[in-house]
Amino acid sequence: MKSLEICEIFYSLQGESNYMGMPCIFVRLARCNLRCSYCDTQYSYAPGNRMSFEKIISEIAMYPAKVVEFTGGEPLWQEDTPQLMQILLDMGYKVLMESNGAMYIDEIPHEVIKILDVKCPGSGEAGSFQRANLSLMAAWDELKFVLTGFHDYRYAVDFITQYKLEGRVIHFSPVTTMLPAEQLAEWMLRDGVQAKLSLQLHKILNLR
């Protein structure tokens, strides 16, 4: 019987993608291969509760939404994650996955909306992103840059230019304790950056 290590399963509003604001069931997987300086879910580093696919699906079915997001930790750190994604797709769920981008996405079902985080220098994990994932992304997949200051902003802008990513859905998300959203907005407006300013809606609304 297939199973995964789960940190938590909960129901909230999607807060950090093109699906922002939609009711969503979150499956937070345990363990992560990176240690970002600003991580706000360090509790997910620890081993989780081993749950069978059947148990996970039964908990998901308790909620009225038809959108499920796999997050972490790092959902791709567990090799059976793609299999559960496919089962949920076959059941009619829209499936999202937020990944730190440091692992290949080649085994993820094509229909999954993949939100990949390109780590900037302020994270302490710059260079971890697998560039090969850029060619594996579908047209509906998204990229996210979490920014701590101007150095991260320049890194993100240069990354977009270097890999010719204009036209993709790209989010710039400030660590607001270090970079005020208003300041980031000014830089983006000045430079005409082809990205969206993305704030964490669930935190603004004091949701989990």
Coil, strand, or helix at residue 113?
Answer: strand
- Quick check: 93 pLDDT over 80? yes
Reference 197, options 151, 134, 153, 133; nearest CA is: 153
**pLDDT value of position 1:** 77
Confidence of residue 150 (pLDDT cuts 50, 70, 90): very high
Joined together, the tokens standing for residue 194 give 């082809």
**From residue 109, how far is each of 12, 30, 113, 143 by CA, in Å?**
24, 21, 9, 17
**pLDDT value of position 97:** 98
Reference 170, options 199, 138, 194; nearest CA is: 194
**pLDDT value of position 200:** 84
What is the maximum span of the chain, computed from C-alpha positions, in angstroms?
Answer: 54
**pLDDT value of position 181:** 96
Q: Do residues 135 and 56 make contact, with C-beta atoms less than 8 angstroms apart?
A: no
Type of residue numbered 177? T
Domain architecture of the chain: domains with CATH: 3-204 (3.20.20.70)
Please tell me the distance from the alpha carbon of residue 83 to that of residue 142, in angstroms, as a whole number. Answer: 21
**pLDDT value of position 102:** 97
